[in-house]
Structure 1
Amino acid sequence: MKKIFKALKYTVAVLFIVLAFVACDREYSSIESDVLGENNFNFNASQLEVPIITYNRNLSGQQINGLTSNLLGFFNDPIYGTTTASIVTQVTPTSFAINSAEMFGINPTVESVTLTIPYFSTQTGVETDGTPIYRLDSLFVENNNPENIKPIALKVYENKYFLRNFNPNNPEDNSQNYFSKADASINSTDNFAEIESGTINFDDHIGFTFFDGDIEPSSAARAITDTVGETSSTTYLPPAEVIELAETPQSKAYWKSLILDQAGLPTLSNTNNFHNHFRGLYIKAEAKNGEGSMVLLNLADTGATLTINYSSEDGDDTDTDRDTGTYVLNFNGNRLNTFINNYNPAILPTTPNTTNGDEKLYLKGTAGSMAVIDLFNGLVDCDGDGQEDDDALECFKKTFRKTDKNGNVLAPVNELYQLKRLINEAHLVIYEDETFITPDDPKDANGEDYHTYDRLYLYDLGDNSPILDYNFDVSIDASNPLVSRSFTLGRRITDENGISKYKLKITDLLNSILIQDIDNTKLGLVLSNNVNLNLSTQLLNDIGDVTGVPASTVITPRGTVLHGSNSADDDKKMRLEIFFTESE
């Protein structure tokens, strides 16, 4: 592909349409005219197509602790294959206020132990009897159809591996991070994590089995009935996974030894002692008969608890009544999301073409793959002499900055460069690859196709932070990430032929490169199920130019395939379009 900057001139009539569109679509930050351009504008509307390079990066060793939410279950992506997600977590008493030999009373016994984990859900209505109707918001099943919910085989073990907080091998950043080791070709049944000193197989650190059965995600409200005398009242709570962990005499005896018998001992006196004594739970999910469902769980929710219900003697020898109490633990502490990825080996690329770009871009969450966008790569023909001997970034700067009569860029004023062309809007145009994603894909319960709610997330590879346009985007919807920040991270657009594309705006980013000489020209592109979540996670080892990835893609099980900058279809190659007005 010949790399050349193409400027296309438009008529004045088209200019007014472009300016009207831009004015309606966003509010621009106020920047002094003596910095940006000439006092008198010529107003010639122009479009510039800039050659870019895009290529793939397979991801491994992604940070899997410190996530805001956690996946649990089994999911089969129609393109990539299966992912199984499990959770290893510490549990922490909600209070250490009382620690005496009789903090649980006299001769306490365990009555029940209940694990409660709320789902992300939205109330959509009310039944005629007053029962709330809910929808699960983070459910991943075949075709996105709630009618396709399948049970998950689940085991809840005592975890015997100590999840330490501090990394003795890293004096600069002594917090201990844990990283994914998700390749099912190595081991398709066990869950692993990696740290700097080696690999952890959590299936080698299993203690008591508290639960071994099936669960099935449900959107049903939870009814809590209280009876006082002859009067009963019912309170409804949002959907949650509720699992009983002490249904046998053996399990009740184990919980008694683990918790109640520690009354008055140092093990229940503070968090560190407790975590060393009881190292938490290993919640292991598996497919059931080759099928299953996956859900995103909010273990940080105040309603996410491990509750031990116990009874004790009341001190009155004349009756058999016993006092009752509860000991509540939450999931504060270290919490890991482990993955087993059994991917189609023909899908993920092995070696990226960082020089000419890849034909297809493979985006997959849960330690899958991402894309790199190099905005100004290599050499281009900037002066029209037919030779590709000009640096692409310098050519871009010369094209927009004011120059002297010899063509040299003028020195900055107060560290800000003056511009002869003003960027009104710049965006990346990205097409889905229809050979993988077609309009004939199965529809969900709402008649929408599988990828309707896919969101692409763009970030700065230099410091793993959101791009400037994201930070300035006013279209934030904190309650609905499916539509949030849609001005910058444009939503999926599908035409009448079923061809889908995205437009991602980088206007402010390019202006910062031109005016302030900020050198952020490599971007990361991932699939995200929550574009409001802009936290970054680390990698165990750098993967080429990738040193970190957004946390949101770690907990995104779905995948998609896009046309890259080297696509065989010229009309669908990823491209950068810049709309500007000239001041000369």
Structure 2
Amino acid sequence: MRRLFKALKYVSLFLLIAFAIVACDKEYNSIDSEVLGEENTNFNASKTEFKILAYNKKLDSLQINNLGSSLLGFYNDPIYGETTASLITQITPTTTNPDFGTGTVIDSVILNIPYYSRATGEVNDESIPIYTISDSIFGNESAPIKLTIYRNNYFLRDFNPNSETNTAQNYYSNASNADKANNYAITENSIINFDDHKGEVIYESNASGYKPSEKAIVLVTGSGDTEAKTASVPALRINLAEDDDKKAYWMSTIIAKQDQPELSNSNNFINYFRGLYFKTEAINADGQMIMLNTSSTDSKITIYYSKDSTVSGETTQATYVLSFTGNKVNPFINTYSQNLQNGDRTIGDEKLYLKGTEGSMAVVDLFNGLVNCEESNTQDTALECFKKTYRQLNEDNYILKSGESIEEINGVEYITKNGNFVLKRLINEAQLVIYEDEENVSVDDETHEFDRIYAYDITNNQPTLDYLFDATDNTANPEFSKFVSLGVRTKYEDTDGEHYKYKIRITEHLNSILVRDSTNTKLGLVLSNNVNTTSNSNILESNDIVTGVPAASVLSPRGTVLHGNNDNVIDNRKMKLEIYSTEQKE
């Protein structure tokens, strides 16, 4: 909670009050003024619940290319089981037609890909910043992984040759493939085994494996009185030319191609050197997974070399840089202990499984099914009853005001003004209340401390209106960003002990349905590492209403389990749609 209040100090007083209303564990007891007394107010306050349906959606064939970030390593989720993530990436020259000079000798070839890190605000004895990468590590932080980097010989296309409109070529996950030793991806008409296209080994971790370090990268220039140190963020940093054989490899592969077609332009180079394949494996069935910032401008390979100087007998140093700005594919190998399945769309599911890296999500159908609507004393769909309850009907005693008119829909006369429906009840707050399944997620399990549930509009593959209106952005620490619309994981107590729940605000979503007659789109629920990221990952040839998922959920190796809302769930754990409203007294 200390971190939460630290985040709150950066928002305005209004948002602080809004958060207190939305995220407070105490339920609404009275919206009426305790100063004036209920008899002196001119409105009534109420809380209502509407019927919803929530079910599981098994995910596969997810877009895994160009996601902005990349996972690398091994993670054993205590609920779902094992995931191994590898990376295939193109490298492109930052300059073409280079002149490497004469007498050229390679000094080192440095691969650098930053981790996601945060400065702690402290420095060490040499005034170098201290960083933490704990937000980007999943699994056993003390356990190394086996890392092998191969030259990749599979050509990653920019465009789909089967498309008539030159759309981008996407690559999709095939993580459940029975072959757990190799990394696969699929396209519209092919299955790719990247291990069939691996070339020579460029780097291989030693017997003790590879383990990320959170120390700053320190570069020293000069010596004595002119010595200077500069620090950069923690990164996967490897010298790819640490011996004579490796230096000879880069000499023949890059330097010797001066004045050749391979270095004349980027297309030629990418066809010649098709990229790198970072393959990871567990060591003794253990390891860790790290999030790489592959979109950073500091993600690059720098060739440091010496060449003859214009001054006879002397040499000068120079560099040649290869960037990671080309295509990237992030394949997964899943060995899940849970048998993930599509859920029951008629009665909903008892448990909802949220898991990234080709796992599972939940679909929420608001106002599902038929209800006995008190407002009209008829049996209606839950959606029609919702509209009748909150919109102003053309009742016998209603007198049209200036600018108002009557619009009939399905035999019901509603009052409209300027194209919008007039409301007789104002929604002050509407939220999905979602309870964590304590049979699968222990209240003492700290790995779920900062879990965030991201809700999105399935039909349009975009954030909810409440998300877009939510000004509580925190770019430095996404764990506490958008906490009005996407409430943080909150502990509460009842007669059964301690539990956790989430609150997802959908006030604007419902108001848009009522006032502007927007479509009642289904909502998707996924687990997200970074709720600031709203880009999408497509699903290959989806025959379902779910055609894409947030890219951040694909890159979320962790998973959780929630209570659904079918009849097998006890009432005080069922997912609920709660609406708090006010209505003018007659």
- 1:414 deviates by 2.5
Q: Which runs of 4+ in 1 moved over 4 A?
A: 20-26, 383-387
Say if 2:219 and 2:230, in contact at 8 Å, map to a contact too. Answer: yes
Q: Counterpart of 1:192 in structure 2: which amino acid?
A: Y
5+ residue gaps in structure 1? 1-19, 27-40, 442-448
Partner residue of 1:494? 491
- 1:107 deviates by 4.2
CA shift in 2, pair 1:580/1:272, >3 Å: same
Alignment partners' CA distance in 1, 2:19 and 2:476:
27
Partner residue of 2:326? 333
CA shift in 2, pair 1:392/1:327, >3 Å: same
- 1:398 deviates by 1.0
Deviation string, structure 1 residues 321-369 (Cα, Å, up to 9, x no partner): 443321111100111111111110xx24324100110000000011111
CA shift in 2, pair 1:465/1:435, >3 Å: same
**Counterpart check, 1:437 vs 2:441:** yes
Given candidates 181, 186, 189, the residue that maps to 1:194 is 186
Partner residue of 1:473? 470
CA shift in 2, pair 1:495/1:315, >3 Å: same
TM-score computed with the length of structure 2 as normaliser = 0.86
Alignment partners' CA distance in 1, 2:19 and 2:127:
47
**Counterpart check, 1:402 vs 2:403:** no
Given candidates 320, 335, 341, the residue that maps to 1:350 is 341
Deviation string, structure 1 residues 289-309 (Cα, Å, up to 9, x no partner): 111111111111122110112
Given candidates 102, 105, 110, the residue that maps to 1:106 is 102
Say if 1:75 and 1:140, in contact at 8 Å, map to a contact too. Answer: no
Q: Mapping of 1:71-470 within 5 angstroms?
A: 71-96=71-96, 99=97, 103-124=99-120, 125-142=122-139, 148-172=141-165, 174-183=167-176, 186-213=178-205, 214-228=209-223, 231-314=226-309, 319=313, 321-344=314-337, 347-383=338-374, 389-405=379-395, 408-441=412-445, 449-470=446-467
- 1:384 deviates by 8.1
Identity of aligned residues (%): 48
5+ residue gaps in structure 2? 1-15, 23-40, 397-410
Say if 2:110 and 2:303, in contact at 8 Å, map to a contact too. Answer: yes
- 1:508 deviates by 0.2
TM-score computed with the length of structure 1 as normaliser = 0.87
What is the SS of the residue equivalent to 2:262? helix
Q: CA RMSD in A?
A: 2.3
- 1:233 deviates by 2.3
What is the SS of the residue equivalent to 2:245? helix
Partner residue of 2:13? none
What is the SS of the residue equivalent to 1:106? coil
What is the SS of the residue equivalent to 2:480? coil
Alignment partners' CA distance in 2, 1:240 and 1:466:
32
Q: Counterpart of 2:429 in structure 1: which amino acid?
A: E
- 1:25 deviates by 4.5
Moved more, 124-133 or 507-516: 124-133
Deviation string, structure 1 residues 382-416 (Cα, Å, up to 9, x no partner): 248998x4222111111111112379232533221
Alignment partners' CA distance in 2, 1:543 and 1:370:
16
Moved more, 113-122 or 265-274: 265-274
Alignment partners' CA distance in 2, 1:403 and 1:291:
63
Say if 2:90 and 2:326, in contact at 8 Å, map to a contact too. Answer: yes
Alignment partners' CA distance in 2, 1:405 and 1:130:
74
Partner residue of 1:506? 506
Partner residue of 1:46? 46
- 1:95 deviates by 2.0
What is the SS of the residue equivalent to 1:486? coil
Q: Mapping of 1:18-57 within 5 angstroms?
A: 25=21, 42-57=42-57
